[in-house]
């Protein structure tokens, strides 16, 4: 016999003469597990537990499809999971509203229901795009991040900031929508080239500067191993950086306060990505350059010791990351960067907040950094790089 569940609700209504405003409220407590490992069997065991027999829509990019996602989809199917899969072209240029709409159209043609799972398998572009798609489809479908890049594992997959780019600004169209789980299998990183590993290390280095001197020390000690894809070193860095980011995010997960140390390096970094057309400069590379500029401004303001700036720049250089415009593709001019900052300023109600390091584990948020300060810092870092280059040539 069918069992019915009673749902009694006895809600009083206001008196006829009650015209005062009333308060409506809604609250949500998002909790999710982050699992870091270095082998597929343990990653899939955890993933199967999170899927819990539900249907899966797996979305990836064309490159990751061939490397990892097809194999993962077939493995899940062998365990009895109903998996639909699609992919889109790789690259930041495809982190767009057009891609998102195509993915929404594809989902509408699947059997995925509101309690099923969207599986986002790939790097930051896939994770950001599909996270936003998941937030919009059916007003929100649970999604699980399976990051396949170092940048994805230490940054993009965590925190629920999901978005696509707009020609006028990066991440302009987005939402806050937390994943159901994150599964970081560092074995996937063995297929990355050195440049991609370095770009991921930039985001980990950022977390060390703003919130964890021990993490910065760990990366200094293991950078060469990580760049050579040593899995134990990568596992340790990914786990540590994931813990640091998760701790920092939970202080203000929906950015009510706008004073966000995690934006260190991103203000100028996003401007560089905008002026170079979202592609030639990897996100981590742009952040590395942005950190260099922020550190230079902090030194010039007397906030940061020159030795601390040199230590940061030295680690970025060891990783092969850009610390001057000489390291960026094409000719990135200060005027173009400050113009892009002007667009960001317009979006943010005429204010740009720069995260400036004071010491390792401590930053300040400054909303009075001028375009002239940015231009001077860009010129100073370029001059320093040229001087070092000439010194190296003489020594050789």
Based on the residue annotation, tell me whether 170 is a catalytic residue of this protein.
Answer: no
Active site residue: 263, 273, 285, 296, which one?
263
User: Which residue blocks in the chain are alpha helix, DSSP H?
Assistant: 40-51, 62-64, 70-78, 97-108, 124-136, 150-151, 194-211, 213-227, 231-249, 266-275, 283-300, 306-318, 334-347, 371-395
Active site residue: 70, 220, 255, 388, which one?
255
Distance CA 275, CA 338 (A): 10
pLDDT at 260: 83
Based on the residue annotation, tell me whether 346 is a catalytic residue of this protein.
Answer: no
Distance CA 396, CA 391 (A): 9
Based on the residue annotation, tell me whether 283 is a catalytic residue of this protein.
Answer: yes
Q: Are 97 and 138 in contact (CB under 8 A)?
A: no
CATH fold of 258-395, please?
Dehydroquinate synthase-like, alpha domain (1.20.1090)
Based on the residue annotation, tell me whether 9 is a catalytic residue of this protein.
Answer: no
pLDDT at 64: 98
CA 376 to chain centre: 28
Distance CA 55, CA 303 (A): 53
How many helices (H) and strands (E) in the chain? 14, 10
Distance CA 298, CA 340 (A): 21
Sequence-separated contacts (24+) of 358-365 with Cβ below 8 Å: 358/298, 358/303, 358/304, 359/304, 359/305, 359/308, 360/208, 360/209, 360/213, 360/216, 360/308, 361/209, 361/210, 361/211, 361/212, 361/213, 363/209, 363/210, 363/261, 363/264, 364/303, 365/259, 365/260, 365/261
Active site residue: 180, 260, 270, 309, which one?
270
Token pair belonging to 363: 């930053």
Active site residue: 283, 296, 309, 373, which one?
283
Distance CA 383, CA 325 (A): 10
pLDDT at 253: 83
pLDDT at 169: 77
Q: Are 97 and 173 in contact (CB under 8 A)?
A: yes
Architecture label for domain 33-192? 3-Layer(aba) Sandwich (3.40)
For 349, left (φ over 0), alpha (ψ -120 to 50), or beta? Answer: left
pLDDT at 395: 67
Active site residue: 161, 207, 229, 260, which one?
161
List all residues 6 or more positions away from 269 whose beta carbon is below 8 Å from its beta carbon. Answer: 283, 286, 287, 288, 289, 290, 291
Active site residue: 54, 259, 348, 353, which one?
259
Active site residue: 95, 170, 266, 309, which one?
266
Based on the residue annotation, tell me whether 161 is a catalytic residue of this protein.
Answer: yes
pLDDT at 387: 87
pLDDT at 237: 98
Q: Where are the domains of the chain?
A: 33-192, 258-395
Based on the residue annotation, tell me whether 270 is a catalytic residue of this protein.
Answer: yes
**What is the pLDDT tens value at each position of the chain, 396 positions in all?**
567 888 888 999 899 899 999 899 888 888 999 999 999 999 999 999 999 999 999 999 999 999 999 999 999 999 999 999 999 999 988 999 999 999 999 999 999 999 999 999 999 999 999 999 999 999 999 999 999 999 999 999 999 999 999 887 788 899 999 999 999 999 999 999 999 999 999 999 999 999 999 999 999 999 999 999 999 999 999 999 999 999 999 888 887 775 589 999 999 998 999 889 888 999 999 999 999 999 999 999 999 999 999 999 999 999 999 999 999 877 788 888 988 888 777 556 667 889 999 999 999 999 899 999 999 999 999 999 998 877 766 666
pLDDT at 393: 67
Based on the residue annotation, tell me whether 4 is a catalytic residue of this protein.
Answer: no
Active site residue: 68, 229, 245, 260, which one?
245
pLDDT at 56: 98
Based on the residue annotation, tell me whether 68 is a catalytic residue of this protein.
Answer: no
Based on the residue annotation, tell me whether 285 is a catalytic residue of this protein.
Answer: no
Phi, psi of 241 (to 5 degrees): -65, -35
Active site residue: 4, 6, 28, 139, which one?
139
Q: Are 94 and 127 in contact (CB under 8 A)?
A: no
Based on the residue annotation, tell me whether 45 is a catalytic residue of this protein.
Answer: no
């Amino acid at each position: 016999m069918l069992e019915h569940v009673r749902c009694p609700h006895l809600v009083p209504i206001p008196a006829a003469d009650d015209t005062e405003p009333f308060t409506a409220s809604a609250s949500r407590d998002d909790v999710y597990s982050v699992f870091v490992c270095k082998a597929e069997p343990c990653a899939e065991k955890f993933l199967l537990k999170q899927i819990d027999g539900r249907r899966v829509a797996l979305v990836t990019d064309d490159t990751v499809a061939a490397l990892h996602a097809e194999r993962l989809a077939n493995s899940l199917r062998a365990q009895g999971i109903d998996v639909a899969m699609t992919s889109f072209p790789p690259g930041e240029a495809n982190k767009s509203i057009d891609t998102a709409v195509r993915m929404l159209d594809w989902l509408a043609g699947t059997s995925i229901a509101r309690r099923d799972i969207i599986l986002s398998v790939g790097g930051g572009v896939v994770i950001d795009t599909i996270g936003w798609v998941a937030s919009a489809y059916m007003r929100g479908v649970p999604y699980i991040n399976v990051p396949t890049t170092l940048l994805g594992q230490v940054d993009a997959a965590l925190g629920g900031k999901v978005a696509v780019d707009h020609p006028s600004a990066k991440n302009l169209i987005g939402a806050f929508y937390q994943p159901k789980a994150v599964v970081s299998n560092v074995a996937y990183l063995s297929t990355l080239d050195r440049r991609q590993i370095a770009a991921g290390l930039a985001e980990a280095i950022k977390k060390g500067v703003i919130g964890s001197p021990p993490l910065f020390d760990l990366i200094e000690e293991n950078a060469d191993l990580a760049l050579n894809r040593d899995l134990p070193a990568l596992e340790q860095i990914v786990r540590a950086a994931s813990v640091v980011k998760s701790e920092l995010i939970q202080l203000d997960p929906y950015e009510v306060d706008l004073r966000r140390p995690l934006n260190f390096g991103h203000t100028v970094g996003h401007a560089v990505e905008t002026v170079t057309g979202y592609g030639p400069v990897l996100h981590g590379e742009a952040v590395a350059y942005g950190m260099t500029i922020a550190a230079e401004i902090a030194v010039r303001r007397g906030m940061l010791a020159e030795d601390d700036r040199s230590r940061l720049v030295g680690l970025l250089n060891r990783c092969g990351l850009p610390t001057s415009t000489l390291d960026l593709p094409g000719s990135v001019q200060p005027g173009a960067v400050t113009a892009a900052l002007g667009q960001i300023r317009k979006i943010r109600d005429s204010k740009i907040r720069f995260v400036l390091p004071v010491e390792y584990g401590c930053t300040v948020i400054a909303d009075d950094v001028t375009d002239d300060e940015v231009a001077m810092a860009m010129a100073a870092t370029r001059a320093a790089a040229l001087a070092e280059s000439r010194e190296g040539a003489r020594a050789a």
